[in-house]
C-alpha cells in the first residue's frame, strides 16, 4: 500500500466492517447447517433458505462506502468466491502484479480504504 491515499472519513470503521462480514458469514453457515439438517430429516435434497434480498441489501450498503470498480466488487468476491477468506491463497488476488491479501475481512478493509 505504498504511496496510496488512505480513506479517513469512512462511515464504516474497521471494526464495524469486520463485524458485518462476520455476521453475514455466520448467517450463511447457519443457513447451510439448517439445510443439511432438513435434508436429513426429510430424506431429500433441500436448498438453502433464500435470503438473498437481505444479503444483497447489506452488500449494497457496504458498497455505498466501498463501490465496485469496473463491475467487480471486492466485497462480493471475498464473500462468495473465496468464502469469506477461507478459500484464499496467496496469488488468487493480484493488483499491479502484486499479491493482495484477502485472507480475512480486516485485510479486505485495509485494502479497500486505500482505493
On the question of pLDDT at 54 being above 50, the answer is yes
- DSSP states along 41-64: HHTS-PPPP--HHHHHHHHHHHHH
Choice between 9 and 115, residue whose per-residue pLDDT is larger? 115
Tell me the pTM. Answer: 0.84
pLDDT of residue 1: 46
Contact 21, 105 (CB under 8 A): yes
Instruction: Give tens-digit pLDDT for 24-50.
Output: 999 999 988 988 988 888 888 877 777
In the predicted structure, residue 6 carries a pLDDT above the cut 80: no
Specify which residues 72 forms β-bridges with. Answer: 69
Domain ranges (residues) in the chain = 14-112
Amino acid at each position: 500500500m505504498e504511496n496510496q491515499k488512505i480513506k479517513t472519513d469512512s462511515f464504516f470503521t474497521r471494526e464495524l466492517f469486520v463485524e458485518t462480514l462476520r455476521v453475514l458469514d455466520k448467517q450463511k453457515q447457519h443457513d447451510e447447517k439448517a439445510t443439511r439438517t432438513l435434508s436429513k430429516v426429510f430424506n431429500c435434497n433441500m436448498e438453502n433458505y433464500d435470503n438473498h434480498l437481505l444479503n444483497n441489501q447489506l452488500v449494497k450498503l457496504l458498497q455505498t462506502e466501498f463501490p465496485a470498480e469496473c463491475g467487480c466488487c471486492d466485497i462480493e468476491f471475498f464473500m462468495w468466491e473465496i468464502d469469506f477468506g477461507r478459500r484464499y491463497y496467496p496469488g488468487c488476488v493480484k493488483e499491479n502484479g502484486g499479491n493482495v491479501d484477502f485472507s480475512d475481512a480486516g485485510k479486505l478493509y485495509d485494502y479497500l480504504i486505500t482505493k
